[in-house]
């Protein structure tokens, strides 16, 4: 009867074992003497009388089989997530590359001034809404934090505020800097990213806070395995008209038309620049998200495969051991009868 139970690897075996263990603990206390040795002497379960350490957990075959099934399911899920991310990557990558042509003329016209730190800095952190995408959100948050610290080093009067796009960035930054966050923007990928959406976000940012410099922190898509954290610097219209910026850019050489003053044109220009840079940054970040998710899910699938291999080996070993034990009992029983 015991052998049959062993073959089924049932939980009944484990339960009997557990009962015997608790029984033997009282026996062991008496036998083990003053030291209270945890070893107890048992009989019956397993192959003959053996000293089995008190508190060992017997991984029954059923339990191992359950674990194998769940690991296999996880492997299937992560494989599917990788395929989905790969297909989404293709579409977003095309859009991201097409959008690069939009903001580059601005850099040519107004120059790129990463060192300009005004009195009021706005850090726009782009992160993802969904997780399971590797370390890209942590890098963006790390950069945003160091931008804040850099600005704080400049002393009093240098304010920094955050605008956070994406749930993951929000979760990480709101713990420490809840008071510094001016706006949250989430669920940007419910409809696919388009320029109108970014124009509205740019509008919202400009309306809700004054600033001298905007720093947009995002992951630039370099290739399917490399995502570079990037900071894009944008100056407000007032700073643009100021002396420092004029030296860097080409703005001076242009006549302006189309509005009353150059200030008005600069205002429109700065808004359009923010919208274009945001559009490109959001697309690059989305592409990086897909790429990172693809590689994270790929390594998950591979790890799940390895765990499954190990579990299968140990399952087979224990199964073969119990079959061998049964055979030995039968054969020795038969030999005893003969002899």
**Interface with other proteins (CB under 8 A):** 95, 98-99, 101-102, 105, 109, 194-196, 199, 250-251, 253-259, 265, 268-269, 272, 276, 279
Distance, CA of 78 to chain centre: 13
CB distance 228 to 222 below 8 Å: yes
- Residue 33 Ramachandran class (φ > 0 left, ψ -120 to 50 alpha, else beta): left
Phi, psi for residue 58 in degrees, rounded to 5: -90, 115
Q: How far is the CB of 257 from other proteins (least distance, A)?
A: 4
Q: How far is the CB of 221 from other proteins (least distance, A)?
A: 17
Of residues 137 and 197, the one with the C-beta less far from other proteins:
197
Q: How far is the CB of 110 from other proteins (least distance, A)?
A: 10
Phi, psi for residue 138 in degrees, rounded to 5: -65, -40
Distance, in Å, from the CA atom of 50 to the CA atom of 43, rounded to the nearest integer, reads 8
SS3 (DSSP) at 269: helix
Q: How far is the CB of 254 from other proteins (least distance, A)?
A: 4
Q: How far is the CB of 96 from other proteins (least distance, A)?
A: 11
Q: How far is the CB of 289 from other proteins (least distance, A)?
A: 19
Distance, in Å, from the CA atom of 62 to the CA atom of 70, rounded to the nearest integer, reads 13
Distance, in Å, from the CA atom of 112 to the CA atom of 216, rounded to the nearest integer, reads 13
CB distance 96 to 286 below 8 Å: yes
CB distance 243 to 220 below 8 Å: no
How buried is 223 (Cβ within 10 angstroms: 0-12 exposed, 13-18 middle, 19+ buried)? exposed
Q: How far is the CB of 268 from other proteins (least distance, A)?
A: 5
Enclosing H/E stretch for 131: none
Of residues 196 and 316, the one with the C-beta less far from other proteins:
196
Of residues 63 and 265, the one with the C-beta less far from other proteins:
265
Of residues 103 and 143, the one with the C-beta less far from other proteins:
103
SS3 (DSSP) at 163: strand
Of residues 97 and 326, the one with the C-beta less far from other proteins:
97
Of residues 154 and 194, the one with the C-beta less far from other proteins:
194
Distance, in Å, from the CA atom of 94 to the CA atom of 284, rounded to the nearest integer, reads 10
Of residues 257 and 338, the one with the C-beta less far from other proteins:
257
């Amino acid at each position: 009867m015991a052998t049959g139970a062993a073959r089924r690897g049932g939980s009944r075996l484990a339960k009997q074992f557990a009962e015997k263990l608790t029984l033997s603990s009282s026996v062991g206390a008496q036998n083990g003497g003053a030291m209270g040795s945890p070893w107890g002497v048992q009989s019956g379960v397993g192959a003959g009388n053996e000293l089995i350490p008190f508190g060992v957990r017997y991984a029954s075959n059923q339990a191992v089989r359950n674990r194998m099934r769940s690991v296999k399911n996880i492997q299937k899920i992560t494989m599917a997530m990788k395929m989905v991310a790969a297909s989404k990557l293709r579409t977003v990558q095309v859009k991201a590359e097409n959008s690069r042509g939009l903001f580059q003329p601005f850099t040519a016209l107004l120059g790129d001034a990463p060192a300009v730190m005004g009195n009021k800095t706005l850090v726009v952190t782009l992160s993802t809404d969904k997780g399971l995408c590797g370390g890209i959100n942590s890098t963006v948050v790390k950069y945003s934090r160091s931008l804040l610290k850099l600005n704080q080093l400049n002393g009093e009067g240098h304010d920094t505020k955050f605008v956070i796009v994406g749930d993951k960035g929000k979760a990480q930054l709101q713990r420490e800097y809840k008071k510094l966050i001016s706006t949250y923007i989430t669920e940007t990928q419910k409809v696919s990213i388009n320029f109108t959406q970014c124009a509205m976000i740019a509008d919202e940012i400009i309306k809700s806070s004054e600033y001298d410099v905007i720093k947009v922190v995002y992951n630039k898509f370099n290739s399917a395995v490399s995502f570079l954290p990037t900071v894009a610097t944008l100056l407000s219209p007032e700073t643009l008209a100021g002396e420092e910026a004029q030296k860097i850019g080409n703005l001076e050489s242009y006549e302006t038309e189309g509005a009353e003053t150059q200030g008005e044109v600069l205002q429109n220009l700065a808004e359009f620049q923010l919208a274009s840079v945001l559009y490109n940054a959001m697309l690059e970040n989305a592409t990086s998200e897909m790429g990172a998710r693809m590689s994270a899910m790929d390594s998950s699938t591979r790890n799940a495969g390895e765990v499954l291999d190990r579990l299968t080996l140990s399952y087979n070993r224990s199964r073969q051991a119990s079959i061998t034990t049964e055979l030995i009992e039968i054969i020795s029983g038969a030999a005893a009868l003969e002899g």
